[in-house]
Copies of this chain bind each other. A is one copy, B any other.
Amino acid sequence: MATIVAPSQISPVEDAEALRLAFKGWGADNKAIIAILGHRNVHQRQQIRKAYDELFEEDLLKRLESEISGDFERAVYRWILEPADRDAVLINVAIKHGGKDYHVVAEIASVLSAEELLAVRRAYRNRYKRSIEEDVSANTTGHLRQLLVGLVSSFRYEGDEINPKLAQSEAHIIHESLKEKKGNNEEEVIRILTTRSKTQLVATFNRYRDEHGVSVSKKLLDQTSDDFHKALHTAIRSINDHKKYYEKVLRNAIKKFGTDEDALSRVIVTRAEKDLKDIKELYYKRNSVHLEDAVSKETSGDYKKFILALLGKQE
């Protein structure tokens, strides 16, 4: 379930005019920006962008970039984009950041459905005049490249069938690869993870846990923590249970000294219209603190107000 609270009917023209007014004078009226954009669904936001463009012959996004700044700007900017376009931007930024953020590429590619991922590939091509796999592979090598390119290029089968024999044999392949820490079997693990249907993979992960008393992702934590293993870990967790995965991303982002606003914004902006309510519940169960309260404590200013609006907090 979603968290954002949006009126069922809005006037895109009135919203565009109110935003224009908020930009008037020295310093924008951030409260007005949040009151409007923090409470509009994806369809309404596109209508407002269009109305703004038609009324004032100006790109709302560009104007926002010049009016607001920092974490607040980045969160609002991403929020306004359509989901596929937003994910294209997130992937591009992650590639530019290099090693540090490659797990974000793995996360996005693993959480999306085949059709959603395809929409992101289209959006990326339109925006950057290159393919995702082109940029990812030009910036990586070896197993990390194979894994990431495989993930972003996948078009998985999405039927419900499970092949128990295959789950058994591939759980065994994964076990063998994790056992010998040098890992000669990595290419097979990459093949399994990037091509099998998610339903089949979950069966394989379950089989692994049944046989070895520990989950694949926990077992992976024993490995060297290089970019490849970090991306592998992210892919496995995202495929296995993406809500639990996101709960952990939020937990780590908040726990971190200084707070990781990029990760916090990414999860909240990306999931606010999808299943952030479920993720919030998981967060409360795991931490005995409401996500809104944790966010309130660790963030500040307009950024905090905006994020809380997306989390469904009523003014």
Contacts and interface: CB of A to CB of B under 8 A. Distances in A.
Interface stretch (A17-25, A130-138, A216-224): A130-138
Interface string A171-202: 00000000000000001000100111100000
Interface in A129-153: 129-134, 137-138, 141-142, 145-146, 149-150, 153
B150 A131 contact: no
A159 interface: yes
A157 interface: yes
B195 A133 contact: yes
Complex copy number for this chain: 2
Given A131-B157, A137-B191, A138-B191, 11 more contacts: A122-B155, A125-B158, A130-B157, A131-B155, A131-B195, A133-B153, A133-B195, A145-B187, A146-B146, A149-B153, A149-B195
B155 A195 contact: no
A161 interface: yes
A155 B153 contact: yes
A168 interface: no
Interface in A99-149: 118, 121-122, 125, 129-134, 137-138, 141-142, 145-146, 149
A158 B121 CA distance: 13
A149 B145 CA distance: 13
Contacts of A153: 133, 149-150, 153-155
A156 B133 CA distance: 9
A86 B138 CA distance: 33
Nearest to A196: B134
Contact of A137 (B133, B141, B159, B195): B195
A145 B195 contact: no
Contact of A121 (B137, B149, B155, B159): B155
A155 B129 contact: no
A125 B191 contact: no
